[in-house]
Chain A
Amino acid sequence: MKQFIQGIAANSRYQATHLLQILRQIQFRYHYIPQTAIEQLSTLLNIPRTQIVSVAEFYSFLHLEPRGQYELLISDSITDHMLGKENLIGYLAKKLDVDIGEVRADGVVSLDNTSCTGMCDQGPAGLVNGYALTRLDHSAIDKIAELVNQQKPLNEWPAELFQVNDNIYKSGLLLDQQIEQGAALRSAFKRGIGETLMEIDKSGLRGRGGAGFKTAMKWRFCSEEQQNERYVVCNADEGEPGTFKDRVLLNTYADQVFEGMTVCAAIIGAKQGFVYLRGEYLHLQDKLQNILDQRRQKGLLGNNILNTGLDFDIEIHLGAGAYICGEESALIESLEGKPGIPRNRPPYPVTHGYLGKPTVVNNVETFLAAAAIAVNGGDWFASIGTEKSKGTKILSISGDCARPGIYEYPFGVTVRTILNDCGATDVQGVQVGGPSGTFISNQEFDRKLAFEDLATGGSFIVFNSTRNILDVAQNFTHFFAHESCGFCTPCRVGTSLLKKQMDKIVEGHGASGDIVALEELCRLVKNYSHCGLGQTAANPIITTMERYLDLYEKQLKDISFEPGFDLDGSLEIARSLANRDDVGAHLAQTVATGSIPAATVPPGERT
């Protein structure tokens, strides 16, 4: 092990910024981060061991205690649930004889849940040692259990288990035609770098991650900083449940994305770029690496790109299971090898980003669009869309529809049009923009996707009338509590309180005051949290409560107070110790207003 760690540390030039990348490799090789590895790395990278422990304990895919040689994770996204995930993971646990969250006694396999893996169009999905598993069903699980029990190496597993499809059903401006390799750079240099920035400005392109900051303005601010080093970062950490379009863009349009990054580098004067690829997309790593190599060979990356004097290269960094790293300053922290905790702002990344230097962080789709604009010009892009939302938006559509997959639409498209195209019928509502977005009811299908109406990063989850809206809101609320980085009080404590309060109501322990308590909590978490995660964590509850208050109220008990737990169930241990199971040893859980609680009635008087 010592040699292995020495080797990967050397490959990383002993840079602490590579800590997360190094730990990923150790986890992959040994299925945990051993104490000896921590000590060795602390010396090699010259950082306190606490920094290594805190990184290992922050990311879901890293562990200080051994996991199985086969680390199996099943995606816990709402779409996976809708496809029968709960039943499947139970079946898998039984087949493998391992409890969920545990390692089997022989150390061969471990099983657990994980947040949305970005395969919502081909779920139920999972991961084995980081590699995506798709379209899981009972027969696939039989196969997996057999392979695990035979201890077959992953490269001997049948390829169909790992088959990831693009599922592009509707292409538009961007997906219709990929630009030719090098075309955007040639156009940019021919037109002039400053002029190309003006074209991007003219295009009206706004950030595709969801926040919608004007791309040209971000690039200009960054280029105007008085610093000699700048960085370009592509945010491919798409962790928003229900989003998977970046997976497709990087699978099929990666060249154009890299080209967009290189155009950005030329404009702002950056020498180094990073793609922060979410750990769940490990299956794309080698492919992307090959494309980068090809680009270097063709003079499109590296030194003196296209003989213009531009030096720029791109490195791929992988995440390790942390939704928060999609937040740009948390992403930068993670790139620096630290836990992904959002920074205080100001200063913003355009002035103080990676290693404190001016940094542009943009979504995969933004770079893809920028490259196309560099070739086709700003008017080409701006001629489509709405006044405030130019161009097209690439959507990831999943849930209850005939054709889940990728759809590209001009901004301003109505929800109704999209539902028709993807074959959704009997629709109860749609989660637009993922859990952090908005839940809309079937009374709102004439609303438009655009920054001025329904802003979205691209997630679009359809729910038909058989779905229970409260289950949806509960699943999303659990997601946020799991993904909160824990930095600030309102989000760290508040998201866990939201989870408790939501569970209390959904499980039927809520009383009349509990809706008010839930509303207050939502407001606190939204208004006081440090970053976008906390500020949007209550959205699933807020947006469903606005529309379906009656559903929440129906869950409440008709009393003024109700304990937040199962009273009678909590007495089970006492009963078994006392060896009693008579009527007197049981408590009634709920009592209507005005009547006497069972517990206060003397035992003799009970019937």
Chain B
Amino acid sequence: MSKTIIIDGKIIPFEDGQTIMDAAMAAGIYIPHLCHQPEFTPHGSCKLCTVNVNGRNCSACTFPAMEGQEVLSETKELINDRRRITQMLFVEGNHLCPGCEKSGNCQLQAVGYHLNMLDSHFPHFYPDRKVDASHPDVMIDQSRCILCTLCVRASQQEDGKSVFAVSGRGINKCLIFNAQSGLLKDTDLDAADRAAHICPTGAIIIKRTGYRVPIGQRVYDDKEIDQVSLETEAEHLEHGE
């Protein structure tokens, strides 16, 4: 008898060591998320994957699955609040989808669509954030950074480098690059690095690839993010084990 948890009334098996997110994904249940990728150590910072576990809110990506858990995920309240959290991410940065190369491939945008986000709800911050175009092959626009740290983790855990880190405190947090000059060109980032390709938004862009895939043929143009996520990430999870 395998151990089970209940998610929105469905009985879901899990193994020791799995998080609620792992168990849900393996069972084909999508829980919205942005800072999580099953290949990397969970971070638990975007809070989109917040679920209610026996009456208490927890991040599904970090909270261990345990026998006896009754998890609520697709409730009206949680869906509405996830939309609000997504809107927070939108107003915090400068996310101008129509002019962004990532449009259609962007997870932030796709999650916004998935959660039926129709406006930004909160007042915009319009922060003045830096663009670093110094690297020959990679460009970073901090206006679009949501501080998910996926690039930080990918650089450390997969590329074996430490190109990125998050610095600062509170609303002034930003990405920094490991170079004495502070410029991306002086880091050991290579365009082939996983970290250069993992950004869920358009903050990290590979140069000279813009619009090679036309709008209309992009990842989220035909499929919603729940379907894409379950097809790609859950598959990886199985292979990873």
Interface residues of B in 20-74 (CB under 8 A from A): 42, 44-48, 50, 57, 59, 62-64
| Chain B residues with CB under 8 A of A520 | 84
| Chain B residues with CB under 8 A of A51 | 165
Distance in angstroms from A424 CB to nearest chain B CB is 34
Roughly how many angstroms separate A344 CA and B88 CA in the complex, as a whole number? Answer: 21
Q: Give a binary string over A526-562; 1 marks a CB under 8 Å from any B CB, 0 the rest.
A: 0111100000000000000000000000000000000
Tell whether A568 is near chain B: CB-to-CB under 8 Å: no
Tell whether B213 is near chain A: CB-to-CB under 8 Å: no
Q: Give a binary string over B150-188; 1 marks a CB under 8 Å from any A CB, 0 the rest.
A: 000000000000101111111111001110100000000
Query: Quick one: which of B81, B84, B172 contacts A486, CB cutoff 8 A?
Result: B172
Instruction: Pick 9 A–B contacts, CB within 8 A, sort by A.
Output: A53-B165, A53-B176, A58-B167, A322-B169, A486-B168, A488-B45, A488-B47, A490-B85, A529-B47
Q: Are A50 and B162 in contact (CB under 8 A)?
A: yes
| Chain B residues with CB under 8 A of A495 | 170-171
Residue of B nearest to A499 (CB): B171
Residue of B nearest to A321 (CB): B169
Tell whether A376 is near chain B: CB-to-CB under 8 Å: no
Interface size on A, residues (CB 8 A): 40
Q: Are A493 and B88 in contact (CB under 8 A)?
A: yes
Q: Are B167 and A53 in contact (CB under 8 A)?
A: yes
Q: Are B167 and A484 in contact (CB under 8 A)?
A: no
| Chain B residues with CB under 8 A of A484 | 169-171
Given known pairs A53-B176, A530-B47, the reply for A492 and B81 (CB within 8 Å) is no
Interface residues of B in 209-240 (CB under 8 A from A): none
Q: Give a binary string over A443-483; 1 marks a CB under 8 Å from any B CB, 0 the rest.
A: 00000000000000000000000000000000000000111
| Chain B residues with CB under 8 A of A35 | 180
| Chain A residues with CB under 8 A of B81 | 524, 527-528
| Chain B residues with CB under 8 A of A496 | 125, 170-171
Q: Are A58 and B85 in contact (CB under 8 A)?
A: no
Q: Are B45 and A493 in contact (CB under 8 A)?
A: no
Q: Are A54 and B176 in contact (CB under 8 A)?
A: yes
Given known pairs A50-B162, A50-B176, A492-B92, the reply for A530 and B45 (CB within 8 Å) is yes
Given known pairs A54-B166, A493-B92, the reply for A528 and B57 (CB within 8 Å) is yes
Distance in angstroms from B47 CB to nearest chain A CB is 5
Q: Are B42 and A486 in contact (CB under 8 A)?
A: no
| Chain A residues with CB under 8 A of B123 | 497, 500, 564
Roughly how many angstroms separate A564 CA and B122 CA in the complex, as a whole number? Answer: 11
Q: Are A344 and B92 in contact (CB under 8 A)?
A: no
Roughly how many angstroms separate A537 CA and B29 CA in the complex, as a whole number? Answer: 33
Tell whether A485 is near chain B: CB-to-CB under 8 Å: yes
Report which B residues bind A (CB closer than 8 A): 42, 44-48, 50, 57, 59, 62-64, 81, 84-85, 88-89, 91-92, 122-123, 125, 146-147, 162, 164-173, 176-178, 180
| Chain A residues with CB under 8 A of B46 | 488-489
Q: Are B57 and A492 in contact (CB under 8 A)?
A: no
Distance in angstroms from B22 CB to nearest chain A CB is 14
Roughly how many angstroms separate A346 CA and B56 CA in the complex, as a whole number? Answer: 14
Roughly how many angstroms separate A483 CA and B170 CA in the complex, as a whole number? Answer: 7
Query: Quick one: which of B62, B125, B165 contacts A344, CB cutoff 8 A?
Result: B62
Tell whether A494 is near chain B: CB-to-CB under 8 Å: yes
Residue of A nearest to B86 (CB): A489
Tell whether A28 is near chain B: CB-to-CB under 8 Å: no
Residue of A nearest to B166 (CB): A54
Tell whether A48 is near chain B: CB-to-CB under 8 Å: yes
Roughly how many angstroms separate A520 CA and B180 CA in the complex, as a whole number? Answer: 44
Q: Are B180 and A39 in contact (CB under 8 A)?
A: yes
| Chain A residues with CB under 8 A of B45 | 487-489, 530
| Chain B residues with CB under 8 A of A490 | 47, 85, 88
Roughly how many angstroms separate A564 CA and B177 CA in the complex, as a whole number? Answer: 36
Roughly how many angstroms separate A483 CA and B236 CA in the complex, as a whole number? Answer: 38
Roughly how many angstroms separate A496 CA and B127 CA in the complex, as a whole number? Answer: 12
Tell whether A49 is near chain B: CB-to-CB under 8 Å: yes
Roughly how many angstroms separate A497 CA and B85 CA in the complex, as a whole number? Answer: 12
Q: Are B44 and A497 in contact (CB under 8 A)?
A: no
| Chain B residues with CB under 8 A of A564 | 123
Roughly how many angstroms separate A339 CA and B91 CA in the complex, as a whole number? Answer: 25
| Chain A residues with CB under 8 A of B167 | 50, 53-54, 57-58
Roughly how many angstroms separate A529 CA and B168 CA in the complex, as a whole number? Answer: 19
Q: Give a binary string over A39-70; 1 marks a CB under 8 Å from any B CB, 0 the rest.
A: 10000000011110110011110000000000
